[in-house]
Amino acid sequence: MQDPYKTLGVAKNASQEEIKKAYRKLARELHPDVNPGDAKIEERFKKVSSAYHLLGDAERRKKFDNGEIDADGRETSPFARGGGHAGGGFGGGDPFGGFSGANAEDIFDEIFGKGRARSGGGGFGGFGGERKPRKVKGPNISYELSLDFAEAILGTTKRINLASGKSLEVRIPPGSENEQTLRLKGQGMAGMNGGEAGDALIKLHVHPDKTFRREGNDLHCDLAISLPEAILGGSIEVPIVDGKVNMKLPANANSGTKLRLRGKGAPYDRGNKRGDQYVHLTVKLPEERDDELVEFIKDWSEKHPYKAR
C-alpha cells in the first residue's frame, strides 16, 4: 500500500492547494485519453487519482494523518466502533473517477477545457482535438461488516454508511459465510465522462458462536445428558440456530454418540435447501458424590462386568 503523499510527490505538510497543483500536473501527463493504450500509464493514473481522492479532501486527509483510515480509505480498526459499522474504503477496484469533495471534475475541466466530454467542438483543448473521451468506470468502495453467527446463518438486513456518503440497506442472504464478499453493483464511486459507477464490495466477518460451529452447510453442537437420560433414553430439548426442538434420544447413549437433525443446518442454494445439524452427546455425572449411586454401581458391576476399552 503506497504512501499517497509519495504517489503525488508532495511533502506531508503540503497545503491543500499544493496537493491540488501536484495532482493537476500529474493528471495532465497521465490521463488515459492522453496516453491511449498504455496500460502502465493508466495504472499509475489510477493510483494518483486514488491518492488525490484521499488527500484532496481535507477531512479525509486529517483522518489519514491521524491513523484513523489507511491509504485505501478503510478504517484501521474495523471492529473498534462496534455493530459492524467499520468504515468503508474506496480501494479494491479502479481507483479513479468521480471524486466528491476533491473536485476532480473541476480539475479536469481546468486541464482539458469545459468541452472535454462533448464529441466534436473542442475535445481536450491541446490534446486529441475532436476525439471524444472514453467513458471510465468509477472506483469500487470496500466495506467490512461484522455479523453475529445467527445473522449470517438466517440472513438479515443491515444499514451501512459508505465512504462516498451513501447510506444503504444491505440484505445479508441466509447461509452467508465468514470472509464472504457481497458485491453491490453500481453503489461505488461515480464514473467519468458518463462511465458507470463502481461497485460496493462488502466483506463479511462472522463472529464465532458459543454453541454452534459450522462445517460446510452443516452445523455441529455439543450437548450434555444425564446418566438416567443416557441409560433410559427419551425426548430431550436441543438448541438449533433459530430456536429449540425436541429430539428423540435412544437408550444406552454414550458420550461421543452423534445424532442428526435433518434440515436444521445452514441454508444454501439461495435458501432453497438447508444442511443438517449434528448433536454430539456427552454423558455428565452428578457434580457431587452420591453414595447410593456408588453402592449401586459396585453391586451392578460385579454382576455385569464388561470391557470399555
Q: In this predicted structure, what is the pLDDT of residue 99?
A: 41
In sequence order, what are the residues at sequence separation of 6 or more whose Cβ sits closer than 8 angstroms to the Cβ of residue 143? 86, 87, 88, 89, 160, 162, 163, 200, 201, 202, 203
Based on its alpha-carbon atoms, the radius of gyration of the chain, rounded to whole angstroms, reads 30
CB 187 within 8 A of CB 162: yes
What pLDDT score does 86 carry?
43
| pLDDT, tens digit (0-9, with 9 covering 90-100), for 62-75 | 988 988 888 777 77
CA angle, 98 then 26 then 39, to 5°: 75
Query: Which three-class secondary structure state does DSSP give residue 131?
Result: coil
Quick one: pLDDT at residue 31? 75
4-206, CATH topology level: HSP40/DNAj peptide-binding domain (2.60.260)
Per CATH, 4-206 and 213-303 having the same topology is answered yes
**DSSP for 206-225?**
EPP-SS-EEETTEEEEEEEE
Residue 77, pLDDT score: 55
C-alpha cell, 178? 465468514
% of the chain surpassing 90 pLDDT = 46
Q: Which CATH superfamily does the domain covering 213-303 fall into?
A: Urease metallochaperone UreE, N-terminal domain (2.60.260.20)
pTM for this predicted structure: 0.58
Domain segments of the chain as ranges: 4-206, 213-303
pLDDT in tens, 213-243: 999 999 999 999 999 999 999 999 999 999 9
What pLDDT shows up at residue 105?
53
The model's pLDDT over 108-136, given as tens digits with 9 standing for 90+, comes to 555 555 444 444 444 444 444 455 677 88
- For residue 172, the surrounding DSSP H or E stretch is strand 167-172
**Which one-letter DSSP state was computed for residue 120?**
S
Ranges of the chain whose pLDDT falls below 70: 1, 33-34, 76-132
CA–CA gap between residue 193 and residue 200 (Å, rounded): 20
